[in-house]
């Protein structure tokens, strides 16, 4: 047996460099607002420039050939690149994703406590796996709204909060079935003593370097401070937070930056990263809101187009809705369809549901397979077990709202909606290559 001190180095997987970038992206993006900033910084390095929604867009703005642009609204980002020769009716190739993840979010009156403990009141956001937030060191991050109308991002990325689990000695049946009350059992502690009104926001203000009296609103949320890490004997797996769905946002930004290196393309490549997917997408920054349609329309008009040109552009457009999907679970294989068992490092997955929980149809499958073949990447198919309800994505919403042909894809992961999820180390890279083939094909 090889001595431990002389163990061979793990093999280097093809996607390691991309996953290194994903690790940095996840670490820098504890909230949708930070994720948008991280994606914008990546695109800025590729020459993209921000446009203001409140200003007029003309040929010098959203219609300039050979230029990349992006718009930020809260936790959402829409970015696009206008290639040389693009006309008013040139169609779009859209990669869709979302920036939000299930988590714990600070209540409007956060300072609370019980039995000599100071605690922070939290609401449950999205379909969170509550038990994964127990006994985990949590930081706090988000957006502060200031009296002058500006906003400030803040990130306390160190152990600050903890949701303590009840000891087994006080709940002897806990291993027979843990039941958590969302109101009583998910309130984290952050100190001892008597809670004081305004204490949390005063602390956050100090961390952000602003006077507490200037803060008139906040959108704050907890995050695990444990960093992403490679996992396994051969480091062929990647564990980390918020892979659902920052993995897709990062891959889409990388693919769009690569597309912008092409002077001429048959379509206008777009990245649409929405907020609020995890609670239904019904917001001004969600996929069911008007943001994407407004940006695409204004880009048509900035290139001298008409409503007719806009209709023609949409009719020829295609969207890849990218979100994480379910890898086959080795301990619960019976929960999966036996003919569709996606594996980590097997390439991106095509997600199918005939009841339109996913938007994929036969023509969408053809678009996806062509993109994978163009990029030289393998791919897999996912369909739910008929006895299990199927989740959904921004795909059907995008197709219905804008009349744009949409196909649902993603990366197979384990522990979806956990505070810490797991994927294959090569799959984020393979997804980005697929997206690049789609955006440039």
Q: How does pLDDT run across 151-174, given as a tens digit for each residue?
A: 999 999 999 999 999 999 999 999
Work out the percent of the chain whose per-residue pLDDT is above 90.
92
In sequence order, the β-bridge partners of residue 378 are: none
- Asked if residue 219 lies in contact with residue 141, where contact means CB atoms within 8 angstroms, the answer is no
Residue 195 pLDDT: 96
- Asked if residue 81 lies in contact with residue 260, where contact means CB atoms within 8 angstroms, the answer is yes
**Given a cut of 70, is residue 5 above it in pLDDT?**
no
Whether the bond into 12 is cis, omega within 30 of 0:
no
Residue 3 pLDDT: 35
Model confidence pLDDT, tens digit, residues 234-246:
999 999 999 999 9
Asked which of 54-58, 280-284, 330-334, 347-351 is least confident by mean pLDDT, the reply is: 54-58
**Whole-number CA gyration radius for the chain:** 23
Q: How far apart are the C-alpha atoms of 283 and 19, rounded to whole Å?
A: 31
- Asked if residue 422 lies in contact with residue 414, where contact means CB atoms within 8 angstroms, the answer is yes
From residue 156, how far is each of 122, 205, 209, 386, 396 by CA, in Å? Answer: 16, 11, 12, 43, 36
Three-state DSSP class for residue 166: coil
**What number is the average pLDDT over the span 346-353?**
97
**Given a cut of 80, is residue 105 above it in pLDDT?**
yes
Model confidence pLDDT, tens digit, residues 274-324:
999 999 999 999 999 999 999 999 999 999 999 999 999 999 999 999 999
Beta pairing, strands 49-50 & 67-73 = parallel
Residue 8 pLDDT: 46
The pTM assigned to this predicted structure is 0.95
Confidence of residue 423 (pLDDT cuts 50, 70, 90): very high
Confidence of residue 67 (pLDDT cuts 50, 70, 90): confident
Confidence of residue 11 (pLDDT cuts 50, 70, 90): low
Work out the percent of the chain whose per-residue pLDDT is above 70.
95
Cα angle 232, 238, 241 (rounded to 5 degrees) comes to 130
**What number is the average pLDDT over the span 324-336?**
96
**What number is the average pLDDT over the span 132-146?**
98
Of residues 145, 159, 138, the one with CA closest to residue 210: 145
**What number is the average pLDDT over the span 31-43?**
98
Model confidence pLDDT, tens digit, residues 356-413:
999 999 999 999 999 999 999 999 999 999 998 889 999 999 999 999 999 999 999 9
Q: How far apart are the C-alpha atoms of 413 and 324, rounded to whole Å?
A: 7
Residue 60 pLDDT: 58
Residue showing tokens 């804008």: 402
Higher pLDDT, 406 or 12: 406
Asked which of 46-60, 102-116, 276-290, 304-318 is least confident by mean pLDDT, the reply is: 46-60
Residues ≥6 apart with Cβ < 8 Å to 183? none
The overall average pLDDT reported for the chain is 94
Residue 58 pLDDT: 76
**Given a cut of 60, is residue 2 above it in pLDDT?**
no
Torsion over CA: 145, 148, 149, 151 (sign):
negative
**What number is the average pLDDT over the span 257-268?**
96
Residue 15 pLDDT: 83
**What number is the average pLDDT over the span 18-41?**
98
Tell me the backbone φ, ψ of residue 211, rounded to 5 degrees: -65, 135
Residue showing tokens 């087994």: 168
Confidence of residue 189 (pLDDT cuts 50, 70, 90): very high
Cα angle 435, 36, 376 (rounded to 5 degrees) comes to 10
């Amino acid at each position: 047996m090889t001595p431990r001190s002389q163990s061979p180095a793990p093999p280097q997987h093809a996607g390691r460099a991309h996953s290194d970038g994903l690790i940095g992206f996840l670490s820098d993006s504890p909230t949708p607002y930070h994720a948008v900033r991280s994606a914008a910084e990546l695109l800025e390095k590729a020459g993209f420039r921000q446009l203001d929604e409140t200003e007029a867009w003309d040929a010098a703005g959203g219609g300039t050939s050979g230029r990349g642009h992006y718009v930020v609204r809260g936790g959402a980002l829409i970015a696009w690149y206008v290639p040389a020769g693009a006309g008013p009716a040139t169609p779009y190739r859209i990669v869709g994703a979302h920036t939000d993840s299930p988590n714990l979010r600070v209540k409007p009156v956060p300072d609370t406590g019980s039995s000599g403990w100071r605690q922070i009141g939290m609401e449950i956001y999205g379909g969170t796996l509550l038990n994964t937030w127990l006994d985990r060191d949590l930081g706090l991050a988000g957006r502060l709204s200031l009296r002058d109308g500006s906003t400030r991002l803040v990130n306390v990325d160190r152990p600050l909060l903890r949701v303590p689990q009840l000891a087994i000695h006080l709940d002897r049946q806990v291993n027979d079935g843990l039941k958590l009350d969302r109101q009583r059992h998910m309130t984290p502690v952050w100190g001892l003593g008597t809670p004081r009104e305004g204490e949390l926001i005063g602390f956050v203000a100090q961390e952000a370097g602003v006077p507490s009296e200037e803060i008139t609103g906040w959108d704050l949320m907890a995050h695990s401070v444990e960093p992403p890490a490679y996992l396994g004997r051969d480091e062929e797996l990647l564990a980390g937070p918020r892979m659902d769905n920052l993995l897709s946002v990062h891959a889409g930004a990388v693919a769009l930056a690569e597309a912008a290196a092409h002077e001429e393309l048959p379509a206008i490549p777009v990245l649409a990263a929405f907020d609020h997917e995890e609670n239904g997408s019904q917001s001004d920054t969600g996929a069911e809101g008007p943001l994407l349609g407004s940006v695409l329309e204004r880009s048509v008009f900035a290139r001298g187009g008409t409503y007719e040109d806009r209709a023609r552009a949409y009719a020829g457009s295609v969207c890849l809705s990218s979100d994480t999907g379910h890898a086959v679970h080795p301990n619960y294989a019976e929960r999966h369809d036996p003919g569709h068992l996606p594996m980590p490092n097997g390439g991106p997955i095509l997600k199918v549901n005939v009841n339109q929980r996913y938007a994929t149809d036969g023509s969408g499958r053809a678009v996806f397979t062509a993109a994978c073949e163009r990029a030289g990447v393998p791919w897999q198919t996912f369909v739910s077990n008929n006895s299990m309800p199927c989740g959904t994505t921004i795909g059907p919403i995008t197709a219905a709202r804008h009349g744009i042909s949409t196909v649902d894809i993603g990366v197979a992961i384990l522990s979806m909606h956990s505070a810490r999820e797991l994927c294959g180390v090569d799959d984020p890279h393979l997804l980005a290559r697929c997206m690049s083939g789609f955006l440039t094909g």
